[in-house]
Amino acid sequence: MGKDNLRGVALMLGSMALFAIEDMFLKWAALGLPTGELIFVAGLFGMPVFVLLVWRQGGRIFGPTFRHPAVIARNLGEMIGTLGYITALATVPLATVSAVLQAMPLVVTMAAALFMQAQVGWRRWTAIGVGLAGVLMVVQPGTDGFHPQAMWVLLSVMALTMRDLATRMIPPGTTNAQISAWGLGSVTLLGLVTMLVQGALGLGQAVIPSGPQAVLLAGAVIFGTAGYWAITGAARTGEVAVVAPFRYARLLCAMVIAIVVFHEYPDRLTVAGAALIILSGLYSFARERARARAEARAEARAQSLSLTAAAE
C-alpha cells in the first residue's frame, strides 16, 4: 500500500472516530435541548467555516450555480437527512442508528443503477439485497425489539442518498467549499423553521443552553467539523477503492461509545444485521475495485493495439 493510501486510510479512520464522538455529544445534548435547536446550532456554527473557505478561494456564495436544480435537490436531501438523523439520535440507541447508516453506500449504488443507468452486475445486486436484509435485522420490524423511531434513520438514509446522487449532477467548477456552505446554510434554515414549528405546537421551546449544554454543543461542532475535514482529505489523498471500506470503522466506534457511555447493549440480532451490512458493503467495494481494474486493463490493451496498428 502506497504512502498516499496509508495516509488516506488514516484520515478515514480518524474521521469515523471523530463523527462517532460528534454523535455522542449530539445524543447527550438532545436529552435537554429541542431537535430544532440542535440542528440550528450545528448549521449556524459549521457554515461560517466553509463560507470563509469560499471567500479565501475567490469564489462567490450566491453565484449562478446556487439556483441549479441539482444544488436545490442536494440541499433538500441534506435538510431532510439531517432532520431524520438528529431525531433518530435523540430517540434510538446509538448502535442502531450507526448500523443502519452504514447501509448508505449500498443504497446509493442501488439508486444510481435505478435512476442514473449505472452498471451494476448481479453480484453487487446480491450484496445490496444481503445488506438490506441486514438493515431489517437491525430495525427488527414486527418484534419486541422494534423501535418505531428507527424509521427516522431510514428516512435519513433515503434523503442522504438523494443528496449524494444530486451532488454528482452539480455543474463542474463548483467547489466543495461552496457545496458545503450551501448545505449547511440549508440546515441552519431548517433548524430555525423546526424551532418555530416545535414552539407553536408545544413540542419544545428553544432554550438558552446551560454551561454543560453549551460544552456539549461546542464538542459536537468541533468534532463534526474536524471529521468533515478529515473525510474530505481522505477522499482526495488515497484511492477511493482502498480508503472507502474503512468508513465502517464508524460503527465499531459507535458501538463502543454506546456501551461505555450510554450503557446501550445491542442484542444479537442487531450485531448480526450490522455484520451483514458491513460484509455486503465490503464485498460491493471489492467488486467495484475489480471492475475498475478490468476496465483500466481493457483500455490499456486497446491503446496498445491502436499504437501497434499505427506503427504498422
Per-residue pLDDT reduced to its tens digit, 200-231: 777 667 778 888 899 999 998 889 878 877 87
In a domain, 242, yes or no: no
How many domains, the chain?
A: 1
Closest CA to 131 of 287, 291, 285, 274: 274
Instruction: Tell whether the model's pLDDT for residue 310 goes beyond 60.
Output: no
Residue in the structure block whose three cell numbers are 449524494: 164
Instruction: Tell whether the model's pLDDT for residue 91 goes beyond 70.
Output: yes
State the residue range of the domain holding 289: 85-164+267-312
Instruction: Tell whether the model's pLDDT for residue 45 goes beyond 80.
Output: yes
Residues 177-189 have pLDDT tens digits of 888 889 889 999 9
Mean of pLDDT over the chain: 84
pLDDT at 4: 74
Instruction: Tell whether the model's pLDDT for residue 309 goes beyond 60.
Output: no
In a domain, 310, yes or no: yes
Instruction: Tell whether the model's pLDDT for residue 237 goes beyond 80.
Output: no
In a domain, 281, yes or no: yes
pLDDT at 211: 87
Handedness of CA 229, 231, 232, 236 (dihedral sign): positive
In a domain, 126, yes or no: yes
In a domain, 42, yes or no: no
Least confident of 75-79, 213-217, 282-286: 282-286
What are the residues whose beta carbons fall under 8 Å from the beta carbon of 105, sequence distance 6 or more?
244, 247, 281, 284, 285
Mean pLDDT of 86-97: 89
3-state secondary structure the chain: CCHHHHHHHHHHHHHHHHHHHHHHHHHHHCCCCCHHHHHHHHHHHHHHHHHHHHHHCCCCCCCHHHHCHHHHHHHHHHHHHHHHHHHHHHHCCHHHHHHHHCCHHHHHHHHHHHHCCCCCCHHHHHHHHHHHHHHHHHHCCCCCCCCHHHHHHHHHHHHHHHHHHHHHCCCCCCCHHHHHHHHHHHHHHHHHHHHHHHHHHCCCCCCCCCHHHHHHHHHHHHHHHHHHHHHHHHHHHCCHHHHHHHHHHHHHHHHHHHHHCCCCCCCHHHHHHHHHHHHHHHHHHHHHHHHHHHHHHHHHHHHHHHHHHHHC
pLDDT at 236: 66
In a domain, 255, yes or no: no
Mean pLDDT of 68-83: 92
In a domain, 34, yes or no: no
Least confident of 5-19, 58-72, 170-184, 199-213: 199-213
**pTM more than 0.85:** no
Residues 125-160 have pLDDT tens digits of 898 899 899 998 988 887 777 778 888 999 999 998
- Distance between CA atoms of residues 61 and 55, nearest Å: 8
In a domain, 256, yes or no: no
